[in-house]
Structure 1
């Protein structure tokens, strides 16, 4: 166009900047900015400035966008919206809220686009006070009954900020609903562990002839798992197959593996796992957790070997699952060998919880001296949980010396918790009773 001597107008620049922003072509955006900066058109056409701010934000060039915004002699509602939207999109939610307040101070009224952005920012922050203010503004404007985007944004914000009563009231007053409306409400209930309500909404959604999507299924599968609703979970699995949601969705497949593992239905969990498009550390951990909790040692060892064989990235959850299995089955020697391998090969992935698990295992086996050695030699400062667990083991073994050591360290971390005092008193009482009984008193 320019090679043929045709001079671009505002619409040309806006279209080009939109394309560069969508493709994150930051160097090209800078070049266009440099080109238009000296043009008379640039100084009098705010469309180009707004397009530049939007493009910079899409490339996460926040300082450039803010600099340009501050330099604008005249700002319109679009200028404010693209800045607020940009901050919300790059995760700078506090800045988005600040500029929303400045926008109102400057005399600009928020529109549906503004509310959609600011609801997202509030939801990310779980900013309940601001959430209540925005909720009031939207209700007073009547926007949530006229604009489905605003109503869905409001539902999502209220649900994520744990304002579930208000979310359901808004939902009930909507003149029309779509799948996003239902998903926001169901996800809110599931996120805040109101699992029965999540499943009730799911059934109502189907009664209203809305077909669930992957997002819906992710929420209700979690609800079934945590409620122990195995029959409902199996029904939902059938629905997922019916709607084709399992064919390529790893998140849903892994959620199903976790659900069946939670139910102890390990055959079903293994079957879903085997049919996944590919296996990753999350799906392996979901299956491994089920086998570990059921004490299926041979399956846990086999899965852990596959982790190594398939070069799947291990994480701390993997180690915790296996260690917890050894704790509950009491296989002390196997646990020591496993932990030794972890220290030699995966030392960077170990956390204080792993050392606490091993110390707990020794304590449960009555070997408080080895448990104390683990605590002394771990490359972390022991936390209150470690000392209380160890103190409980000392109580069971009536070991006053090590118990006193644990009590003093626990008390240094917190003097307000009565648990340490109770356990230490129990140790002394048990020893006193033992000596009195032994003396024939």
Structure 2
């Protein structure tokens, strides 16, 4: 029955009175209003419409009941959404799907999965929308695999939409092998599937896999869009492969994306910055026709990772003067820059000003930057006090930062306290390794060895140190004492000759970082064959005299390699840029940009 109703709608955004009369069929009017409230996230008016529905007896109808669930979900009023769902007398498939989607979009994982599981006893046949909704709920890997089994049983595994949802789920869970298996089973890949596979690799710092899929996409003639380029640029940033990055730069310029997309320009700044090419990063930033606050954030992050804390602070001031209001990420970027540059007073002042001057609640990550800054500056008592007095329970990052400061300053007692905390919170190897380093630095090899034995007993595996360098478009990877490279004999012979030159320039191996109780001569050989030095030697052999070298390291560069690289840069008259797990080091003329603070 089509009744003629008068419905009032809130229009606060254009200062109109709430009372605009709408004469139309009730169903169409309510549907339009509910959709509008959902799109505008207008919960107040949405509830007023719901009250009308209740008054006139329409809240239990399937069509309008579904829209109520959807509206409450979009407005993040999840309990109201659940009540609206329960009130629908005859639920159809869309009812179930939007209820799952509402829970998923609002982070209610368990409730989304519970509704999904209820569909089977309710004899509701799931469709692709059901699976897309539940797979977006933030499942863990075990849950995701169970949903995948249901997808398989439903015969929808090869559907592009469902496959894309599976790819995204596996990527978020860190299982790129499972994602790739799904990807390869899709008979007709659309661009969204390609992008999801590339993004899954990028999310898990697997830049090589991402670029391999990107190249395959190109070979198959698939036209890229902005999302494709963003993911590919992030892969280049992960690997610091400038040759590939420059090629992408040219293509996005030709596509006009540099002039129309903040995100693409920002990604280029990030890519060049993570490749150690500050000049190119700054050039892209300065050439942007307009910027948003994220553009400034990226540039400040680039400066921070390169140890240019003063420049990051200057850019922060400049952005404020130009009328850009800083956000939480802005302060995180500039605090990290202060930490890498040792700007202790500035960092502490910024932490205080986040809330006092800008009204932003500092997060634990902001505090962690200052903990790290205090630790690096030798203020370990203050660093520990800050952890204990933070307005939230310290997470493992806080204790890891403190332990890192203890390693730099050989503070055994405080390091042991931080390690005890971390061993309760973390299952990775870093607490064991850092504490063993502290013991070894004070020549207590018995305790260092005992800690390594505990690691072995608990089956904790140390992440292997790897260094890599790009030469003529190909990436060459080296581990310590590596014997796998095709030119290994030339590399080791070159290192032996270089070692003699290093000694002439005053280099003395820092055997304190050789963490085993072995003869001094053996320690020297161990240090000489670190992956960083192997990569540098290969670069010297394989590139023209005077050309710069760019080396990446997945862990923190050791003190001996740092000292040796300064002298190598001087002897060879090369600029050597090294990106380790923490920051960049620019070596030139016997000096490093970090000023030995890292």
TM-score (norm 1): 0.77
* 2:247 maps to 1:235: yes
- Determine the structure 1 residue equivalent to 2:69: 53
The aligned counterpart of 2:50 is: 33
1:24 aligns with 2:41: yes
Give secondary structure in 2 for the equivalent of 1:246: helix
**Which residue of structure 2 lines up, in the alignment, with residue 367 of structure 1?**
none
CA contact (8 A) 1:221 1:255 kept: yes
- State how 1:389-428 maps to structure 2 within 5 Å: 389-395=404-410, 403=411, 406=414, 409-410=417-418, 413=421, 417=432, 420=435, 423=438, 427=442
Q: Partners of 1:41 and 1:79 in 2: how far apart?
A: 15
Change (3 A) 1:166 1:377: closer
Q: Aligned residue for 2:334? A: 318
Using a 3 Å threshold, how does the CA distance of structure 1 residues 71 and 208 change in structure 2: closer, same or farther?
Answer: same
Match of 1:105 in 2: 121
Residues 319 and 163 of structure 1: CA distance in aligned 2, closer, same or farther (over 3 Å): closer
| Structure 2 residue 91 is the aligned partner of structure 1 residue 75 | yes
SS at match of 2:157: helix
- CA–CA distance in structure 1, aligned partners of residues 345 and 316 of structure 2: 14
Specify which structure has the higher proportion of helix.
1
Deviation for aligned residue 1:222: 1.3
Q: Determine if contact 1:391/1:424 at 8 Å carries over to the other structure.
A: no
Q: Is 2:136 aligned against 1:120? A: yes
- Equivalence for 2:164: 152
Gaps of 5+ in 1: 327-334, 364-370, 396-402, 431-441
Q: Distance in 1 between matches of 2:348 and 2:65?
A: 61
1:353 aligned residue (353, 363, 369): 369
Please list, as runs of the form range in 1=range in 2, the aligned pairs for 1:186-225 lying within 5 A after superposition: 186-225=198-237
Q: 1:373 to 1:98 in 2, by over 3 A?
A: closer
Which residue does the alignment assign to 1:135?
Answer: 148
Structure 1 distance, partners of 2:436, 2:160, is 58
Instruction: Give the one of 170, 185, 188 matched to 2:197.
Output: 185
Corresponding residue SS for 2:260: coil
**Aligned-residue offset at 1:285:** 4.2
How many pairs are equivalent?
A: 402
Give 5+ residue unaligned stretches, structure 2: 7-20, 357-361, 424-430, 446-598
Aligned to 1:330: none
Q: Could you tell me how far apart the structure 2 residues matched to 1:161 and 1:193 are? A: 13
**How far does residue 239 in structure 1 lie from its aligned partner after superposition?**
1.2
The Cα RMSD (Å) is 3.6
Give the C-alpha shift of residue 419 in structure 1: 5.1
How much has 1:212 moved relative to structure 2?
1.5
Q: What does residue 271 of structure 1 align with?
A: 283
1:438 aligned partner = none
Distance 2:383 2:22 in 1: 77
TM-score by length of 2: 0.59
User: For the residues of structure 2 that align with 1:169 and 1:379, how far apart are their CA atoms?
Assistant: 44
Map of 2:528 onto structure 1: none
Higher strand share: 2
Gap change, CA 1:341 and 1:183, over 3 Å in 2? same
Deviations 1:36-79 (A, max 9, x none): 43546766x43232233223323333222222322334333222
